[in-house]
Amino acid sequence: MPLISVVIPAYNAEKTIEATIDSVLNQTFSDFELIVINDGSLDTTADIVSNIQDSRIKLISQPNSGPQKSRNRGICEAQGEYLAFLDADDLWTPDKLEAQLKSLRANPDAAVAYSWTNYINDTDQVIGRGSYRKATGNVYLDLLLLDFIGSGSNPLIKKQALLETQGFDESLVAGQDWDMWLRLASNYLFTVVPAPQVLYRHSSESWSSNIKRRESGFKQVIEKVLYEAPDSIRRYKKVIIANRYKCLTADTLQGNLNQRHGLMAAKFIGIAILNDPSLLKAKVLIKIFLKIFIILVFPASFSQAIISKFRDSLNVYALHGYLQLDLAKVD
């Protein structure tokens, strides 16, 4: 049996699925199975997967059920001792699985190994970086302040831990990844590979349209976590909310933007400031307000041309540097 099972949930992923699968097949570690859950795709996703000649690939087709049910189906089908999930439009560096497995073996008490993340656009250009955190061991409080795992495409997890955690919560509208990492962190130790090995795609076709759903999902997760949490955890509620909305602001101001995105970004940065007034001192706010102003005042085609021309000057990912992450300094 393979040592690692890789699960890719795929829905209408014909534009990216081949490159995503190639990033798995090109891993320096080769003792894996690759389970692709074709989640009721209406395009040629299944045909593309079927035409890739590699005995390690297993294609399972099912009626459209959503990515979390697909991931849970993958957990049930997996034969490996370890599991890794990969979204159908994301990529891995060739050493991702090898490095994470090595980290878990060097830390036998840990059940989860994660790496750092870089964000890419539709043309595979890096447009930003994740948090690059180095939290290890008991990371529960760190994860409450910031989902430094970043996406479902990141960690390598012991299958037994996933089974005991009872899989992804299918009742959440979004934020299922963060919820899963928190539930794992409440019972298991984490280890880190301090290198960017996950390339998480911000697609102009889908990313901005998912922002509102992500906001709703994050609210659900926060309410779920804090409902029965002790006061020692609840005291960080404003910090958790502020950090989430800082990230949502930066994410909203990516890709092809229009007035709707500008209004959402204005709302998000306002909520972030209300929960963390110290953000008013951040120099990056000038870029954020300027970018929002351009989007709201000028026609979409003209504002996009301005933003593209001054892309580096108007990059707002520096907002991630103003996340509150030091628990000892939180009042």
DSSP-assigned beta bridge partners for residue 190: 112, 137
Helices 284-297 and 259-275 pack at an angle, to 10 degrees, of 150
Q: Is the pLDDT of residue 243 over 60?
A: yes
What is the predicted pLDDT for the residue at 207? 47
Residues in the chain: 331
DSSP-assigned beta bridge partners for residue 137: 190
- Looking at the chain, the whole-number percentage of residues with pLDDT higher than 70 is 91
pTM more than 0.75: yes
Give the burial class of 177: count Cβ atoms within 10 A of its Cβ; 0-12 exposed, 13-18 middle, 19 or more buried. Answer: buried
Q: How confident is the model at residue 328 (pLDDT cuts 50, 70, 90)?
A: very low
What is the predicted pLDDT for the residue at 140? 93
Mean pLDDT of 44-62: 96
- Looking at the chain, the whole-number percentage of residues with pLDDT higher than 90 is 65
Average pLDDT taken over every residue of the chain: 89
CB 6 within 8 A of CB 34: yes
CA distance linking residue 99 with residue 111, whole number of Å: 15
What is the predicted pLDDT for the residue at 231? 87
Q: How confident is the model at residue 253 (pLDDT cuts 50, 70, 90)?
A: confident
CB 29 within 8 A of CB 36: no
Q: Is the pLDDT of residue 84 over 90?
A: yes
Closest listed residue to residue 76, CA positions, set 177, 178, 163, 180? 163
Mean pLDDT of 72-92: 96
Note the pLDDT tens digit of each residue in 8-50: 999 999 999 999 999 999 999 999 999 999 999 999 999 999 9
Q: Is the pLDDT of residue 330 over 70?
A: no
DSSP-assigned beta bridge partners for residue 5: 33, 83
**How many C-beta neighbours within 10 Å does residue 44 have?**
15
Note the pLDDT tens digit of each residue in 141-180: 999 998 999 889 999 999 999 999 999 999 998 899 999 9
DSSP-assigned beta bridge partners for residue 39: 62
Closest listed residue to residue 137, CA positions, set 166, 107, 101? 107
For the record, the structure tokens of 96 come out as 């991702």
CA distance linking residue 324 with residue 275, whole number of Å: 11
Note the pLDDT tens digit of each residue in 102-149: 999 999 999 999 999 998 888 888 877 888 899 999 999 999 998 999
Could you tell me which residues come within 8 angstroms of residue 67 by beta carbon, excluding any fewer than 6 positions away?
9, 11, 39, 87, 152, 176
Q: Is the pLDDT of residue 208 over 50?
A: no
Give the burial class of 196: count Cβ atoms within 10 A of its Cβ; 0-12 exposed, 13-18 middle, 19 or more buried. Answer: middle
Note the pLDDT tens digit of each residue in 299-315: 878 777 877 776 666 66
Q: What is the 3-state secondary structure (H, E, C) of the chain?
A: CCCEEEEEEECCCCCCHHHHHHHHHCCCCCCEEEEEEEECCCCCHHHHHHCCCCCCEEEEEECCCCHHHHHHHHHHHCCCCEEEECCCCCEECCCHHHHHHHHHHHCCCEEEEEEEEEEECCCCCEEEECCCCCCCECCHHHHHHCCCCCCCCCCEEEHHHHHHHCCCCCCCCCCHHHHHHHHHHCCCEEEEEEEEEEEEECCCCCCHHHHHHHHHHHHHHHHHHHHCCCHHHHCCHHHHHHHHHHHHHHHHCCCCCCHHHHHHHHHHHHHHHHHCHHHHHCCHHHHHHHHHHHHHHCCHHHHHHHHHHCCCCCCCHHHHHHCCCCHHHCC
What is the predicted pLDDT for the residue at 258? 85
What is the predicted pLDDT for the residue at 312? 65
pLDDT, greater one: 209 or 277: 277
What is the predicted pLDDT for the residue at 320? 60
What is the predicted pLDDT for the residue at 329? 47
